[in-house]
Amino acid sequence: MKVTPLRNDFGVMIKPQPMSERWRDLDQAHLQQLIKTKGVVLLRGFDFEIADYEAFTLRFAQKMIPNRETFAIPNGGYRDREDVSGDSLTATVNLHKGPIGWHSEDCHLPTSPHLLFLYCESPPLRGGATLLTDGIEIFSQCDENIRDFLTRHAHLHTWTLPSASVARMLGVALQNVEEAICRLVESLPTGQKLEIEFTTEHIIARFTEPLARITRWSQHKAFCNRLLLYRVLRQAKLREGAASSVVDPTPSEDFEDVLRVIDSLAYLSAYHVHWQSRDLVVFDNTRIMHARAPILDEQRRILIRSCIANF
Ligand SMILES: O=C(O)CCC(=O)C(=O)O
Ligand SMILES: [Fe+2]
């Protein structure tokens, strides 16, 4: 395989070398090493059909994570994805066409994935790029005051969900939800906290994640969360799903300035994936944030899968 950098600070592109090289022959340990150290691996020019894409993701997975947005969350009304595999594990991301701000996938949930896999079934004719940016780089580029702010604040997400939805998200039977949550609490990385309240039919979850997180495969702090996305959503007077999210403790009024600085840093360090047919991008969701430019045509068909990693 031929490995070239996407940017000086993160990401690599892998192309078949020789041209006849098949994805199944790629060295798994080497791929894992690249994901751990570079954060993003873009595979371009390989023989990926959808079934190959799915098989590829399973090689890295301790557990695949169902796309919660493919099953409606009652009272949330947020439904953005279409299930294409029948088990919610593979979904499209093109149902709504607007731009999407910087975020880490589902990091407002204690079940958030380590790895995201995006696959290009059909590229857009124009527009519709996916942007990637390195949370470690963003954190290190912030001045000391902002780093200090991020270290002292957390994002607190409160969810009220029907127990049946929680069971589905956790992939367990309804009667095993409590036990699965206990296991989840024990497996949370340092800095995250989960408090649960059970009512007759609902589960209220309070999930805290630090704004400066330690990434899964490094000892570095990263800005990799949904704060910038929520800033956009707030301005558009939207709420996401059934969650309500606040910064804790409540920040002072210069908070907006802090967000503006971080947003600029995110864009300045961004790599734009201009999709080509059968591209497969895998990235560390605890370190790399992603965003999307508006979709301008009907051609774009990007699929998503995500998992808890087996390494
Ligand atoms: O369409 C994309 O490129 C990414 C979409 C996305 O980030 C999402 O649906 O969470
Ligand atoms: Fe996303």
What would the pLDDT profile of 146-160 be if each residue is shown by its tens digit?
A: 999 999 999 999 988
Do the domain assignments include residue 179? no
- Ligand 2 centre distance from Cα of residue 115 (Å): 12
Q: Please, which residues bridge with residue 122 across strands?
A: 301
Strand order in the sheet with 288-292: 100-103, 288-292, 130-134, 271-273
Do the domain assignments include residue 100? yes
What pLDDT is stored for residue 247 in this prediction? 92
Residue 235 confidence class, pLDDT cut points 50, 70, 90? low
Domain span at residue 266? 1-155+184-191+210-311
Do the domain assignments include residue 140? yes
Do the domain assignments include residue 167? no
Which residues, in sequence order, are CB contacts of 32 under 8 Å at separation 6+?
Answer: 60, 311
Give the atom of ligand 1 at the shortest distance from the alpha carbon of 105.
10
Nearest CA to ligand 1 atom 7: 291
Ligand nearest to the CA of 295: 1
Report helix, strand or coil for 195. strand
Pocket of ligand 1 (CB under 6 A): 80, 93, 100, 105, 130, 290, 292, 302
- Ligand 2 centre distance from Cα of residue 199 (Å): 31
* pLDDT (mean) for 250-265: 92
* The total number of structural domains that make up the chain: 1
Q: pLDDT tens, 173-187?
A: 999 999 999 999 999
Nearest CA to ligand 1 atom 3: 130
Do the domain assignments include residue 196? no
CATH number at residue 249: 3.60.130.10
Residue 238 confidence class, pLDDT cut points 50, 70, 90? very low
What pLDDT is stored for residue 183 in this prediction? 93
The answer to whether 39 and 286 are in contact (CB under 8 A) is no
Per DSSP bridges, beta strands 130-134 and 288-292 are antiparallel
What pLDDT is stored for residue 86 in this prediction? 87
Nearest CA to ligand 1 atom 10: 105
Do the domain assignments include residue 241? yes
CA pair distance 146, 34, nearest whole angstrom: 30
Ligand nearest to the CA of 69: 1
Q: pLDDT tens, 111-149?
A: 899 999 999 999 999 999 999 999 999 999 999 999 999
Do the domain assignments include residue 236? yes
Q: What sign for the dihedral angle of Cα 138, 241, 181, 193?
A: positive
- Ligand 2 centre distance from Cα of residue 109 (Å): 13
Q: pLDDT tens, 32-87?
A: 999 999 999 999 999 999 999 999 999 999 999 988 776 655 444 556 788 898 88
The answer to whether 45 and 14 are in contact (CB under 8 A) is no
- Ligand 2 centre distance from Cα of residue 239 (Å): 16
The answer to whether 53 and 280 are in contact (CB under 8 A) is yes
Ligand 1 pocket check: which of 279, 290, 303, 306 to mutate, most ligand atoms within 8 Å of Cβ?
Answer: 290
Residue with the bigger pLDDT between 241 and 61: it is 61
Angle ∠(100,213,63) on CA atoms, nearest 5: 75
Q: pLDDT tens, 297-311?
A: 999 999 999 999 999
pLDDT score of 240 more than 70:
no
Do the domain assignments include residue 198? no
What pLDDT is stored for residue 253 in this prediction? 81
Cis upstream peptide for 249 (omega within 30°): yes
**pTM of this prediction exceeds 0.75:** yes
Q: pLDDT tens, 178-227?
A: 999 999 999 999 899 999 999 888 899 999 999 999 999 999 999 999 99
Ligand nearest to the CA of 94: 1
